[in-house]
Amino acid sequence: MDNNNLEQITFGGGCFWCVESCFNMLKGVQSAISGYSGGHKDNPTYEEVCTGETGHAEVVQITYDPAVISYEQLMNVFFFLHDPTQLNRQGNDIGTQYRSVIYYKDDAEKAKAEQAIETSKQSGRWQGTYVTELTKFDKFWPAEQYHQGYYNENPTQPYCSAVVGPKIQKFKKHFGELGMLNEE
């Protein structure tokens, strides 16, 4: 990977444990870090974000090499991993912290995000009205260390085995067949 040409993208698609785990498996992704964006409190804690009162979303900040994986491919994965038609929730995870959101850095990235939403709508994968927010990126606060790589460290934890694990298996099958995953 060419560290001089790395780019970043930040988005939220529900609980960050699954999203982070999947993105870290992709070729061209240097890192996917769980954290918080979009709120009004500096350096929030997980407990504060879970109240829904800080305005933050659980997000993943991805550092990637666009020569290996494109923005469009990352967006395809993003829309594969969560339902963009569920307002402020993903499955049983309910609250504004689980909203579908893409944080863009400039007008060009906003245009690419708008196109990715349209492409996903046209795919027919999700039925209903898309509620994915497009929000100007401000700050990213890394989540506490125990959230980083949470699924890999806790695969038998009840939420992980019931919700995250099956989603990761579906992801691995689909994107593995496309040759997009790192060798295990």
Q: Quick one: average pLDDT of 148-169? A: 94
The tens digit of pLDDT for each residue in 84-103 reads 999 999 988 999 999 999 99
Q: Quick one: average pLDDT of 7-27? A: 96
Structural domains present in the chain: 7-178 (3.30.1060.10)
pLDDT above 80 for 184: no
- Report pLDDT for 183: 86
- Spell out the SS3 assignment of 122-181: HHCCCCCCCCCEEEECCCEEECCHHHCCHHHHCCCCHHHHHHHHHHHHHHHHHHHHCCCE
Give the DSSP letter string of 54-109: S--EEEEEEEE-TTTS-HHHHHHHHHHHS-TTSTTEETTEESGGG-EEEEESSHHH
Count of alpha carbons within 13 angstroms of residue 72, beta-carbon side:
6
Q: Quick one: average pLDDT of 154-172? A: 94
- Report pLDDT for 111: 98
- Report pLDDT for 105: 96
pLDDT above 70 for 77: yes
Q: Are 63 and 7 in contact (CB under 8 A)?
A: yes
- Report pLDDT for 2: 64
Which residue in 69, 86, 66, 91 sits closest to 25, CA to CA?
69
- Report pLDDT for 4: 81
List 10's β-bridge partners, or say none.
61, 103
Residues labelled catalytic: 15
Q: Quick one: average pLDDT of 66-86? A: 97
Q: Which residue has the tokens 């929730």?
A: 89
Q: How much is the pTM?
A: 0.95
Q: Quick one: average pLDDT of 99-119? A: 97
pLDDT above 80 for 106: yes
Report residue 1's pLDDT band, with 50, 70 and 90 as the boundaries: low
Count of alpha carbons within 13 angstroms of residue 137, beta-carbon side:
20
Residue 111, class by beta-carbon neighbours within 10 Å (0-12 exposed, 13-18 middle, 19+ buried)? exposed
pLDDT above 90 for 35: yes
Q: Quick one: average pLDDT of 171-184? A: 94
